Amino acid sequence: MKKVIILIAIIISGSAMLLSSCAPVQKIAEKTGAQLWGENCNRCHSAPSQDQYSKDHWIIIGTHMQLKAGITHDEETKIVAFLRGEQ
Amino acid sequence: MKKTLLLIFLLTSICSLRMLAQDESGATKLLVGGHTQITAVMDTGRANIGSANFSAIFLYQLSDKLFVESEIEIESTGDAAEFGLEHANVVWMVCRNVAFHAGRFVPHFGMYRGRLGEGFMNRFPTHPVGSGDGGIGAMVETGFGLQGGFAAGYSKFNYDLWLSDGPHLDVSAENAGQFDYEAFNDNNKNKALGGRIGFLPFSNSCLELGFSYENAAKTEDQYSLAKSVGVRMLAIDANFYHKIDFLKSTLRINGEYKQQDVDKYDYPVPDDTTGATLSFNNSSNAYYAMASIRPTGSENAIVRNFELAFRYSQYTTPIGAPWGAHDQIADAIIVDPVTNIPLSKVSQTTIALDYWLKWNCLIKLAYQTETNVSNKVFLQLYYGF
């Protein structure tokens, strides 16, 4: 029983520490494409670099990820602009 | 007839929209992507390097508003290669926060299938019990829906709502109460209604929480005695990632709980000629939790490409049903070795050490234990392109 309580305490305090370091700092609308690229791609996988695809292909991938990962239209527009080297 | 008219109307609308949209913004853009993998499995009785598959994904950006996605997969199963249409979906971007989709699509039911369980997002060479083939819920659905996402201050929401043909109930003696989730043709007039809502509370998108629900009021052939048997499914999911500075590492934690409840029905008994029936509480649930850590901040280029991952999963199937959890490798139902009765509760533990060759290519080495299945070592090479 003691062990379980200690384990729960560790999990709760660890979770609290992790979540407190994720505190909101900036409105989504104010973010740059580079910021959004780093944050949103990494939710599921490593973020690919700009040279992985052509400019046209980034447009297609942007739409695909908007649908697949549920990123907003504004985020998609900024991320694609960044990956196409337009920011 | 109604269906045919609806289909013709949909196709005509899509073609008209396509032509209008093409006039607005010029040439079609095409990207052919895909993924390939080869897996070796070793246990006390075998060392098999035979499992390989290849998928081609076709993405067409027809205009700013129109998008088509399709995936074709070739995989080795048993003694032959199987060729299949995974999905084919047309999407019309209605406005900034709304996209209409129609076709054979991957539903956002939970976050594992179609997203975290895919190729290089999955840190393991296998799926959790109850989440792969033979698990709860559909991998693909045929129908249409609306999806999108929007920001609300520091937070974000995303959603997907769909109307689909829904699952087909199996009333055969051997599989009584199971479903064919991915049939190409509907078996009745009823439609399934489903959806998921996702919430990202933090501005850096490090945490996503989701709730999914699907209801099909009728699941059997419209002329069958079991025509009114309905099913309700729900899923709760969470995905978290965070860079831990003092460890110079990235931590990932995600998990999902799924539940399925089916209306009662008296099914035929296997090998019975007396007309006896079998009735059981047809409720199933499954969950998994995984955590991984990768020293992404390490100065050593080799060390930062390693990732250590751990996953635990459990699948509970109805007591008294003639079926149970599925062994993904042996392609068989897991049974009690003494009574030969399907087990109603199966758990699985997997530990994996991955090495990232590129952002979309990795080698997965894993050790897996599962209830009443021999322990296994997996080695998989996965490449997404």
Condensed to tens digits (0 to 9), the pLDDT of residues B269-290 reads 877 788 788 888 999 999 999 9
| Non-local CB neighbours of A39 within 8 Å, separated by 6+ positions | A31, B204, B205, B206
Scored b (16 or more CB within 10 A) or e, A28-51 reads beebebbbbbbbbbbbbbbbbeee
Nearest-by-Cβ selection for B206 from A22, A27, A59: A22
Nearest to B97 among A23, A27, A73 (CB): A73
Q: Is B101 exposed, middle or buried (0-12, 13-18, 19+ CB in 10 A)?
A: buried
- Chain A hits for B250, CB-CB cut-off 8 Å, are 42
- Six-digit token pair at B31? 């990207």
To 10 degrees, the CA torsion angle through B42, B44, B50, B54? -40
Question: Residue B243 phi/psi, 5° resolution?
Answer: -85, 125
CA-wise closest residue to B280 among B352, B363, B383, B176? B176
Question: What band does A69 get if pLDDT is binned at 50, 70 and 90?
Answer: very high
Q: How confident is the model at residue A77 (pLDDT cuts 50, 70, 90)?
A: very high
- A20 pLDDT exceeds 80? no
Give the pLDDT confidence of B178-213 residue by residue, as tens digits.
Answer: 888 888 788 888 899 999 999 999 999 999 999 999
Q: Which residue has the higher pLDDT, B37 or B46?
A: B37
Higher pLDDT, B310 or B17: B310
Task: Establish whether this prediction's ipTM goes over 0.90.
Answer: no
* Distance of alpha carbon A79 from alpha carbon B148, whole angstroms: 17
Please give the average per-residue pLDDT across B91-119, as a whole number: 93
Question: How confident is the model over A32-44, as a mean pLDDT?
Answer: 93
The answer, yes or no, to whether residue B2 has pLDDT greater than 90, is no
Q: How far apart are CA B140 and CA B166, in angstroms?
A: 10
Q: Rounded CA gap, A46 and B1, in Å?
A: 48
What's residue B78's pLDDT?
Answer: 67
Q: Output DSSP code: residue B112.
A: I
Shortest distance, CA A6 to any CA of chain B (angstroms): 20
- Interchain pair B198, A47: CB under 8 A: no
Residue A22: predicted pLDDT = 54
Q: How far apart are the first and last CA of chain A?
A: 56
- Tens of pLDDT, residues B335-363: 777 777 787 889 999 999 999 999 999 99
Selected residue with higher pLDDT from B327 and B30 = B30
Mean per-residue pLDDT, B107-122? 92
- Name the one residue in this structure whose structure tokens are 């599921």: A44
* CA B175, chain centre distance (Å): 21
User: Is A72's CB within 8 Å of B69's CB?
Assistant: no
Evaluate whether B290 touches B310 at the Cβ level (below 8 Å).
yes
- What's the pLDDT at A16? 59
B51, B60, B64: which is closest to B33 by C-alpha? B60
CB B235 within 8 A of CB B258: yes
Indicate whether B379 pLDDT > 80.
Answer: yes
Residue of chain B with shortest Cα separation from A27: B154
Rounded CA gap, B101 and B110, in Å? 18
Contacts of A73 in chain B (CB under 8 A): 93, 96-97, 148-149
Please identify which residue in the block is written with the tokens 């199937």: B317
Residue B379's nearest CA partner among B369, B365, B360, B367 is: B365
Question: From the list B115, B120, B151, which residue is nearest A29 (CB)?
Answer: B151
CA distances from A67 to A62, B127, B385 (A): 9, 23, 18
More confident residue, B30 or B326: B30
Closest Cα in chain A, distance from residue B58 (Å): 10
- Which residues on neighbouring strands pair with residue B306, listed in sequence order? B355
Nearest CB to A39; choose among B108, B205, B356: B205
Confidence of residue B15 (pLDDT cuts 50, 70, 90): very low
Helix orientation angle between A55-69 and A73-83, rounded to the nearest 10 degrees: 150
Residue B120 touches chain A, beta carbons under 8 Å: yes
User: Which of B 296-355 lie inside 8 A of A, CB atoms?
Assistant: none
Q: Please choose, from the candidates B348, B291, B351, the residue with its C-alpha nearest in 3D space to the C-alpha of residue B325.
A: B348
**Residue B30 forms beta bridges with which residues?**
B60
